[in-house]
Structure 1
Amino acid sequence: MTLVNTRELMESAAERGVGQGAFNIVHLETAEGLVVGAEAAGLPVILQISENCAKFHGGLEPLALASLEIARQASVPVSLHLDHAESEELAREAVDLGFGSVMYDGAHLDYELNVAATRRVAEYAHSRGVYIEAELGKVGGKNGAHAPGVRTDPAEAAAFVLATGVDALAVAVGSSHAMTERSAALDFGLISRLRSGLDVPLVLHGSSGVSDETIVAAIGAGMTKINVSTHLNGFFTRAIREYLDANPSVVDSRKYLEAGRDALVPEVSRLLTLFAKAI
């Protein structure tokens, strides 16, 4: 139990043909709620801190150290992952802080530059026993930084994995980041072709915009790591709104943050159970 390397969770899920939930931390209360939800399900969870989140907090280290300690005290296996780092320096910092995995996102770069940068990060991570994820084929959303409709080419993906040595690959198969409606249509045929052509697990980003049934089908087609952020943020925020509407005179922020944190627990538990029993 307690803090584990992401490799352990990913290899176990891939071998069993199930999905592994990876949920984003926004602040300390989210980290607490995510772990309690995983404990309620009796299942492992990957906690993720994005580059944007680190910027919001003025740096990676404070939230990372707190999250690592929450993971160490958990009664289920928990790993800590750096999500969507476009900075090589930030990726190296996460490795040095004790993260179980890092995702270097070079999808904004030309292919050859992406390969070179990803390989550098992979070599640094692997030399310290850290699992690495990368992205190929731009996933939609993120304020237009990624072009919608782009798909990952299976042949290019195989060449990319071989050239970089990454352990997992996030692929573009129809989902988009930051969707608030669960209406994305995924290309299951492409997922199957990517799965059969690669010897590393596939990662589905933008899963907040994907329905339960579609996620289950995607896991069946070959997806392993399922990233969820916006969907869970909605539960947190709605609970706070409801609390403040019912208690307009409250000034102690712990009161409404507790409501938000508690609202995460049943949905985290439900999603982890759904992913783990997808097949």
Structure 2
Amino acid sequence: MLSTTADLVGEAAAAGTGVAAFNVILLEHAEAIARAAETTGLPAIMQISQNAVRFHGDVAPLAAAARAIAEASGARLSLHLDHVEEEALLHRTAECGASSVMFDASKLPDEENTAAARAAAAWAHARGLFVEAELGEIGGKGSAHTPGVRTDPGQAAEFVAATGVDALAVAVGSSHAMRERTAALDLALIARLRDALPVPLVLHGSSGIPAPALRAAVEHGMTKINIGTLLNIALTGPIRAVLARDPDVVDPRRYLAGARDAVTEAVADCQRAVSGRG
């Protein structure tokens, strides 16, 4: 069933647990997320990033498919637009069926990031949408995924107060696009951020974090856990294996079926780790 991100994140935060959010690039990603959520009985957030929109050329078709899958599912699923940097895409959030958006102005200088996030939140709140933003600072200017960068709790509290965002992605040791699960998180910093902020914390770059560390991150204060690369690794492995065994295969169903199953398993594993059921 189609739920709102505000409900899923709010309930997880209130319960002191986490909710996993997974990137959707292909229809098979969305199908796998729904199947896993139905198997585990746990909610999930389906995310479409601006990079995925660029790949497809438009947000509407993929968003419509993801929403239809959520509406037909017995699991609680929400639709979210992730890492939106352009106002034009931000302003399509509601029309494409998403209940939330992560507006990413973290590449801008601090004052401009604050102003952009404040404007995005005001626009979104007027339409009943949940808004996430991003802040990373210690170790050098950068996003929540820049190696060496950390988010300062005091600065983060000022940012949330100035912008009115509903959730904040913070830099605590993870990085985007990691293919090995070797990232080490600063759990003490997560706890300090949790205590300093009145909004749920979001962990980006979670594909590079071992399952026990994901659970520890939630126990120390993380709520929304974003996962993307891990699913793509799961998807690609079976495809390579099928094509290596039989180079003459041309029917995509022959290699996508097993790939979708592998993504389903990866999603379920992550959901269990984040919820504490793993």
**Whole-Å Cα distance in 2 between the matches of residues 26 and 84 of structure 1?**
14
**Whole-Å Cα distance in 2 between the matches of residues 176 and 106 of structure 1?**
17
Q: Cα RMSD over matched residues?
A: 1.8
- Matched with 2:225 is 226
CA spacing shift, 1:278–1:17, aligned 2, 3 Å = farther
- Matched with 1:184 is 183
- Matched with 1:120 is 119
CA spacing shift, 1:74–1:146, aligned 2, 3 Å = closer
**Whole-Å Cα distance in 2 between the matches of residues 272 and 106 of structure 1?**
28
- Matched with 1:276 is 275
- Matched with 1:62 is 61
State the Cα distance separating 1:139 from its structure 2 match: 11
The answer (yes or no) to whether the contact 2:105–2:116 under 8 Å persists in 1 is yes
Q: Does 2:91 match 1:98?
A: no
**Whole-Å Cα distance in 1 between the matches of residues 97 and 59 of structure 2?**
12
**Whole-Å Cα distance in 2 between the matches of residues 150 and 33 of structure 1?**
33
CA spacing shift, 1:223–1:93, aligned 2, 3 Å = same
State the Cα distance separating 1:95 from its structure 2 match: 2.6
Structure 1 residue ranges without an equivalent (≥5): none
- Matched with 1:80 is 79
Identity of aligned residues (%): 52
* AA aligned opposite 1:5: T
* AA aligned opposite 1:273: R
Structure 2 residue ranges without an equivalent (≥5): none
- Matched with 2:236 is 237
State the Cα distance separating 1:271 from its structure 2 match: 1.3
- Matched with 2:131 is 132
| SS in structure 1 at match of 2:224 | strand
- Matched with 1:32 is 31
**Whole-Å Cα distance in 1 between the matches of residues 78 and 226 of structure 2?**
14
State the Cα distance separating 1:138 from its structure 2 match: 6.1
Equivalent residues, number:
275
CA spacing shift, 1:275–1:8, aligned 2, 3 Å = same
State the Cα distance separating 1:98 from its structure 2 match: 2.0
Deviations 1:81-123 (A, max 9, x none): 1111111221111233220110001100111111111111111
TM-score (norm 1): 0.94
Q: Does 2:152 match 1:170?
A: no
TM-score (norm 2): 0.95
CA spacing shift, 1:145–1:78, aligned 2, 3 Å = closer
* AA aligned opposite 2:58: G
